[in-house]
Amino acid sequence: MMMADNLCPMLTPDLIVEFGRSKDRRIGVGAKGEKARFRKVASRAEKLGIGEVVIFEDSDELASALREGRIDAAVRGNLDSAVAMKAVKDTFAVRKILRMALLQPARGPLFFFAPVGVDEGWTVEEKVELIELGRKLMMRLDVEPKVGILSGGRHGDRGRHPVVDRTLSDAEEIVRRAVEMGYDAKDCEILIENAVEDRNMIIAPDGISGNLIFRTLHFLGGGRALGAPILNIDRVFVDTSRAKRSYLDSIALASALTGRGKK
């Protein structure tokens, strides 16, 4: 599949490493039971100039260190997802976590993707919020969003199932609201293969389908997942999968987001 040249122009994993270079930053990384492996990752990051990497074995301590400013950014690493997200919610007093993943297919450029948590993005309002917060994230990496909204079918599938009908109507409403707010937004139906050709922010119909797309691309399709920054807290916390082979790109992403001004 051919990819458009304007999809996330200039943004590459190597450029994110460049953005992340700073000897002054301290990046906390969660590591439970694999400290030797994480020390190697920390050493590689520090050799690349990505600040100082501090290893945490406890989710509450990682979240507290981030809130108190003892570290500049955090990466979940291999800490348990439910425990780590609860620690973030408790520490930062948020009811729900909203994340946006930075993904790269096996053949193609980077794109931003949400929702990725099964409990995220279930309403029109929440998906619009993901777009708004996601733009702030993307602009910190100098990327102007081009939003593609997915639904559960093509327009011609309307009437085949009530859930499909709802996702089609929701997508139309989200695009309408996004355009009114000044975004370049497009209804991409169920055609994700077309959406990634000219969109750099993809919004899935709901958290379950988003999580399945993420897992299929990353675990079965050989795609790369740099991490999923949490959007609705005022500090940088990059969520990651415990199945990642290396967290170097996630550490670089966390550092890059910390060091670049909010726009």
- Give the integer Cα–Cα distance in Å for 180 and 47: 46
The pLDDT, as a whole number, for residue 37 is 87
Whether 89 is covered by a domain: the verdict is: yes
Residue 7 belongs to a domain: no
Instruction: Give the CATH number of the domain where residue 236 resides.
Output: 3.40.718.10
Residue 110 lies in a domain: yes
In a domain, 151, yes or no: yes
**Over 80: is that where the pLDDT of 51 sits?**
yes
pLDDT tens digit sequence for 172-214? 999 999 999 999 999 999 999 999 999 999 999 999 999 999 9
What percent of the chain is predicted at pLDDT more than 70? 95
Domain count, the chain: 1
How big, in percent rounded to 5, are the helix, strand and coil portions of the chain? 45, 15, 40
User: How would residue 76 be classed by pLDDT, with cut points 50, 70 and 90?
Assistant: very high
- Cα 91–Cα 28–Cα 34 angle in degrees, nearest 5: 110
pLDDT at 2: 39
Question: What percentage of residues in the chain have a pLDDT greater than 90?
Answer: 84
Tokens standing for 218? 């990353």
| 27 domain-assigned | yes
Helix (H) or strand (E) holding 112: strand 111-114
Q: What is the pLDDT of residue 260?
A: 61
Residue 130: its pLDDT value, please?
Answer: 98
Give the model's pLDDT for residue 7. 52
Domain that holds residue 142: 13-259
**What is 197-263 written as a DSSP string?**
HH-SEEE-SSHHHHHHHHHIIIIIS--EEEEEEBSSSSSEEEE--TT-S--HHHHHHHHHHHHS---
- 1-31 pLDDT, tens digit per residue, is 334 444 545 789 999 999 999 988 999 999 9
Mean pLDDT of the chain: 92
pTM, 2 dp: 0.92
What are the tens digits of pLDDT across the range 117-173? 999 999 999 999 999 999 999 999 999 999 999 999 999 999 999 999 999 999 999
